[in-house]
Amino acid sequence: MNPADSLAALLKGDIDAFFYVVGAPAALFSKGEIDPQGFHLLPLKEPVLQELYTPTRINGGTYPFQQDPVDVVAVKAVLLTYDWVPKRNAYQASACRTVADFSYLILSRLDELRQKGHPKWKGVDLTALPAGWTVSSCVLDGLAPSYTFNCHKPDGTVVAEGAKPAAQAPEANQIFVQRVCARIGC
């Protein structure tokens, strides 16, 4: 079941509990329809979970039904991409450019995302790399000081940032970037 259906089933008594992996505060729990006498968040303090994930706390009052803090674990989000080789073919070059654009947008808009985005952006640490992982060369391209980003806005105007113009991306990639720009601003 999706989270909304799970909550409805819980409130009706059809299920006893459900797991929901989401950044707090979750809009699903903010509506006030949950009776604090019958429902609560369960702490996740198992040593195995705390070793695999990041121990954290949902502060008391985060939700209308939850007055006390609850110790839980946080699942880290990572940007995972295929290891594109731009020299291999046009498709891989285009895909690498999209990954680079996305990386550029996150880095160049991180302060704005922390101020205006989901509260979880405040805890994003771009230097916290998972052990054994290698950063993609496409990501590194997007983080280079000389990187050029072009955004084709829905009205057809082009916003260019950086030192040199980029090659025209395929239409699907342009649409992707337009949607990202519309969402976080370019």
Taking alpha carbons only, the member of 164, 25, 141 closest to residue 94 is 141
Tokens 């989401």 -> residue: 22
Q: What are the pLDDT digits (tens) for 77-121?
A: 777 899 899 999 999 999 999 999 999 999 999 999 999 998 888
pLDDT of 185 > 80? The answer is no
pLDDT tens digit sequence for 140-153 = 999 898 898 887 77
Helices and strands (DSSP H and E) totals, the chain: 5, 4
Whether 31 has a pLDDT exceeding 70, the answer reads yes
Q: Are 109 and 185 in contact (CB under 8 A)?
A: yes
Has residue 36 got a pLDDT over 50? yes
Residue 136 · residue 84 · CB < 8 Å: yes
The answer on pLDDT for 58 being more than 90 is yes
Round to whole Å and give the CA distance between 129 and 111. 20
Highest mean pLDDT among 24-28, 69-73, 125-129, 159-163: 69-73
Give the residue extent of every domain in the chain: 3-74, 90-184
